[in-house]
């Protein structure tokens, strides 16, 4: 039963990784990152349950806080880029080339 | 849980526990939602699929004795983060689809192969792992007196430094979001003195009238903002109409505005025995137009940006009386839409006011 939680987390993480790689819309790339963060949270919580200590849940809580801050910054960057370029496709962001 | 222990105490094992049912239902929902996030063509569908994943994970957290994380997952992720995503999607454009053409050849195929490879790798690692049966969190929470109390003891004792760093992180994120969201003003905002100075400069250099623009036309039957004020020659004063109304092409036709006057005048002229009609003494239906004719030249000529309005009106007066043989009996009655060059009623105050406004 414990393995099943890990397998679910592996599947969610892999789907998030594939989404991160194949999508070009910056918003959906961002959602894929959230998916991977949630998969790691699931591992932390299930391992906390397995080992009988609450430290895993604290770690998952901190991951959520960091994810929330990251979403705020990332989305405001996306809005700023959209304001300048009228697009959220990451293929268009070639102005950062050196 | 007591039922479960009593069953195992009797040497029986349950076929299916509530935790397992919860897991299978929520795992299917979570995987379906994750695939929906990746494959949806519209960002809104992806965000809603992500909400499904997060809600399923929240239920799994609850079944793993993580009540606090269950609430935080719903409040923070589904409530705050996803609403933020939806806000940005609405801001950026709901209908923005991404191009389906690969910019890199074989990019998608390679990405999918990488994903499958990662699944195989991690699944093998998980399969190789030796896991003991779950201990459960009953003891850990019983020591502290509950799930939230246990987490609070950990956060405020062992992990208090990380917690303080979290506070700094959140403050930084909030400030950064405000800085990024605040657009820079390219030019300083014009205040009242600057606007007045520009207006006077425009008057000095280009002769633009510095005062208020003419109001919209007021006739007996029409006084809306879509009614144009008429210039002395019967044409529309463009400044009397708002740009918004003009761009919607909702401006009233000036010939239609003057039509009742023209009909009335024609009826009066066609009446036997009626001599020349002075516009000041005409009957009720003409009063409004008489007022317009008297009022408009002074007002519109004062607003007229063209150079030398006084000369124009003077020319109009002489030209009209000489060239308009159709209405010889009533030189004071104009027909604005048909003969724009025809004279208007002579206003003795007109040239004086124009001279005064030019000074």
Q: List, for residues A1-14, the tens digit of each pLDDT value.
A: 778 898 999 999 99
Note the pLDDT of residue B323: 43
ipTM of the complex: 0.92
Q: What is the distance in angstroms between the Cα of B30 and the nearest Cα belonging to chain A?
A: 8
Q: Is residue B318, in this structure, part of any structural domain at all?
A: yes
- H-helix segments, chain B: 2-9, 18-39, 43-63, 67-72, 82-92, 107-128, 138-144, 147-153, 160-181, 192-206, 243-247, 254-270, 284-303, 309-323, 349-358
Is B252:B222 a contact under the CB 8 Å cutoff?
yes
Among candidate residues B55, B76, B96, the one where a domain is terminated: B96
Note the pLDDT of residue A94: 64
Q: Given a cut of 80, is residue B299 above it in pLDDT?
A: no
At residue B283 the predicted structure's pLDDT band, cuts being 50, 70 and 90, is: very low
Q: Which residues 6+ apart lie within 8 Å of B135 measured at CB?
A: A49, A50, A51, A52
Note the pLDDT of residue B71: 94
Same domain, B228 and B313: yes
Q: Given a cut of 60, is residue B241 above it in pLDDT?
A: yes
Nearest CA in chain B to A70: B173
Which one of A10, A52, A69 has the shortest CB-CB distance to B139?
Answer: A52
Note the pLDDT of residue B9: 62
Q: List, for residues A17-31, the tens digit of each pLDDT value.
A: 999 998 888 899 999
Q: Is residue B159, in this structure, part of any structural domain at all?
A: yes
More confident residue, B258 or B329: B258
Rounded to an integer, the average pLDDT of B344-356 is 43
Question: Is residue A92 within 8 angstroms of chain B, CB to CB?
Answer: no
Question: Hey, are the CB atoms on B34 and A12 less than 8 Å from each other?
Answer: yes
Question: Is residue B101 within 8 angstroms of chain A, CB to CB?
Answer: no
Q: Given a cut of 80, is residue B97 above it in pLDDT?
A: no
Q: In degrees rounded to 5, what are phi and psi of residue A89?
A: -80, 130
Work out the mean pLDDT of chain A and round it to a whole number. 88
What is d(CA B325, CA B161) in angstroms, rounded to the nearest whole number?
A: 99
Which one of B37, B119, B139 has the shortest CB-CB distance to A11?
Answer: B119
Among candidate residues B177, B201, B233, the one where a domain is terminated: B177
Q: Given a cut of 80, is residue A80 above it in pLDDT?
A: yes
Rounded to an integer, the average pLDDT of B281-291 is 45
Q: Where are the domains of chain A?
A: 2-89
Q: List, for residues B183-199, the tens digit of each pLDDT value.
A: 777 778 888 999 999 99
Chain A residues whose CB is inside 8 A of the B77 CB are 34, 38, 64, 67
Is A62:B155 a contact under the CB 8 Å cutoff?
no
Note the pLDDT of residue B73: 93
Q: Is residue B313, in this structure, part of any structural domain at all?
A: yes
* CATH code at position B28: 1.20.120.1200
Q: Is residue B341, in this structure, part of any structural domain at all?
A: yes
Among candidate residues B125, B157, B177, the one where a domain is terminated: B177
Rounded to an integer, the average pLDDT of A61-71 is 93
Question: Hey, are the CB atoms on A32 and B38 less than 8 Å from each other?
Answer: yes
Nearest CA in chain A to B184: A80
Q: Is residue B128, in this structure, part of any structural domain at all?
A: no
Rounded to an integer, the average pLDDT of B192-209 is 90
Chain B residues whose CB is inside 8 A of the A55 CB are 154, 158
Note the pLDDT of residue A84: 78
What is d(CA B194, CA B286) in angstroms, rounded to the nearest whole number?
A: 45
Which one of B115, B166, B177 has the shortest CB-CB distance to A18?
Answer: B115
At residue B284 the predicted structure's pLDDT band, cuts being 50, 70 and 90, is: very low
Note the pLDDT of residue B98: 65
Question: Is residue B169 within 8 angstroms of chain A, CB to CB?
Answer: yes
Rounded to an integer, the average pLDDT of B39-62 is 93
Same domain, B229 and B354: yes
At residue B250 the predicted structure's pLDDT band, cuts being 50, 70 and 90, is: confident
Question: Hey, are the CB atoms on A82 and B91 less than 8 Å from each other?
Answer: yes
Q: How many CA atoms lie within 13 Å of B93's alpha carbon, on the beta-carbon side?
A: 13
CA distances to A47, B160, B162 from B155, rounded to whole Å, are: 18, 6, 8
At residue B296 the predicted structure's pLDDT band, cuts being 50, 70 and 90, is: very low
State which fold the A2-89 domain adopts.
Answer: Helix Hairpins (1.10.287)
For tokens 């510095």, name the residue: B210
> Quick one: what percent of chain B has pLDDT higher than 70?
68
Note the pLDDT of residue B253: 77
**Which of A3, A13, A17, A23 is best to mutate for the B interface (most B CBs within 10 A)?**
A23
Please give the helix or strand (H or E) that residue A72 lies within, else none.
Answer: helix A55-85
Rounded to an integer, the average pLDDT of B242-252 is 78
Rounded to an integer, the average pLDDT of B275-293 is 46
Same domain, B80 and B169: no
Q: What is the 3-state secondary structure (H, E, C) of A11-71?
A: HHHHHHHHHHHHCCEHHHHHHHHHHHHHHHHHHHHHHHHHHCCCHHHHHHHHHHHHHHHHH
Nearest CA in chain B to A40: B57
Q: What DSSP state is assigned to residue B212?
A: P
Is B321:B218 a contact under the CB 8 Å cutoff?
no
Note the pLDDT of residue B322: 42
What is d(CA B108, CA B116) in angstroms, rounded to the nearest whole number?
A: 12
Q: Is residue B198, in this structure, part of any structural domain at all?
A: no
Same domain, B82 and B35: yes
Work out the mean pLDDT of chain B and round it to a whole number. 74
Question: Hey, are the CB atoms on B140 and A21 less than 8 Å from each other?
Answer: no
Of the listed ranges A38-52, B34-48, B177-191, the one predicted with least confidence = B177-191
Q: What DSSP state is assigned to residue B42?
A: S
Rounded to an integer, the average pLDDT of B227-231 is 83
Same domain, B164 and B82: no
Chain A residues whose CB is inside 8 A of the B104 CB are none
Q: What is the distance in angstroms between the Cα of A15 and the nearest Cα belonging to chain B?
A: 7
Q: Is residue B135, in this structure, part of any structural domain at all?
A: no
Question: Hey, are the CB atoms on B111 and A18 less than 8 Å from each other?
Answer: yes
Question: Is residue B54 within 8 angstroms of chain A, CB to CB?
Answer: yes
Q: Is residue B208, in this structure, part of any structural domain at all?
A: no
Of the listed ranges B27-36, B147-156, B163-172, B205-214, the one predicted with least confidence = B205-214
**Could you list the residue range(s) of the whole structural domain that residue B255 is in?**
213-270+278-323+331-358
**Which of A76, A77, A90 is best to mutate for the B interface (most B CBs within 10 A)?**
A76
Q: Given a cut of 70, is residue B175 above it in pLDDT?
A: yes
Which one of B88, B126, B139 has the shortest CB-CB distance to A6?
Answer: B126
- Specify the number of domains making up chain B: 3
Q: What is the distance in angstroms between the Cα of A98 and the nearest Cα belonging to chain B?
A: 20
């Amino acid at each position: 039963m414990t393995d099943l939680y890990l397998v679910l987390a592996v599947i969610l993480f892999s789907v998030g990784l594939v989404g991160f790689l194949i999508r070009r819309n910056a918003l959906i790339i961002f959602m894929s990152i959230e998916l991977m963060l949630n998969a790691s949270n699931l591992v932390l919580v299930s391992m906390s349950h397995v080992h009988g200590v609450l430290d895993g849940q604290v770690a998952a809580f901190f991951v959520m806080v960091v994810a929330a801050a990251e979403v705020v910054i990332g989305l405001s960057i996306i809005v700023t880029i959209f304001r300048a370029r009228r697009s959220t496709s990451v293929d268009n962001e070639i102005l950062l080339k050196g | 849980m007591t039922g479960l222990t009593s069953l195992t105490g009797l040497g029986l094992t349950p076929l299916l526990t509530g935790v397992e049912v919860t897991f299978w239902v929520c795992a299917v929902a979570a995987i379906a939602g994750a695939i929906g996030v990746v494959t949806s063509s519209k960002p809104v569908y992806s965000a809603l699929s992500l909400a499904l994943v997060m809600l399923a994970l929240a239920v799994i957290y609850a079944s793993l004795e993580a009540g606090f994380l269950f609430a935080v997952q719903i409040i923070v992720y589904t409530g705050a983060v996803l609403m933020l995503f939806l806000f940005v999607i609405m801001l950026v454009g709901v209908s923005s689809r991404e191009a389906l053409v690969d910019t890199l050849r074989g990019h998608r195929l390679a990405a999918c192969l990488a994903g499958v490879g990662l699944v195989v790798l991690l699944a093998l690692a998980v399969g190789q792992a030796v896991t003991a049966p779950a201990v459960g969190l009953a003891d850990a929470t019983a020591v502290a007196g509950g799930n939230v109390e246990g987490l609070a003891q950990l956060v405020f004792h062992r992990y208090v430094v990380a917690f303080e760093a979290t506070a700094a992180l959140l403050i930084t994120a909030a400030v950064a979001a405000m800085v990024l969201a605040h657009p820079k003003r390219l030019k300083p905002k014009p205040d009242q003195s600057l606007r007045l100075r520009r207006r006077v400069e425009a008057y000095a250099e280009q002769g633009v009238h510095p005062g208020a623009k003419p109001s919209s036309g007021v006739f007996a039957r029409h006084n809306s903002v879509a009614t144009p004020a008429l210039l002395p020659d019967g044409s529309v004063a463009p400044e009397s109409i708002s740009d918004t109304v003009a761009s919607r092409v909702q401006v009233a036709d000036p010939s239609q505005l003057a039509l009742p006057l023209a009909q009335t005048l024609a009826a009066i002229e066609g009446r036997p025995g009626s001599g020349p009609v002075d516009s000041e003494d005409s009957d009720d239906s003409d009063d409004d137009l008489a007022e317009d004719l008297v009022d408009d030249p002074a007002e519109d000529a004062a607003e007229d940006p063209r150079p030398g309005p006084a000369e124009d009106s003077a020319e109009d007066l002489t030209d009209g009386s000489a060239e308009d043989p159709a209405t010889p009996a009533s030189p004071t009655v104009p027909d604005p839409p048909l003969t724009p060059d025809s004279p208007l009623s002579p206003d003795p105050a007109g040239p004086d006011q124009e001279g005064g406004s030019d000074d």
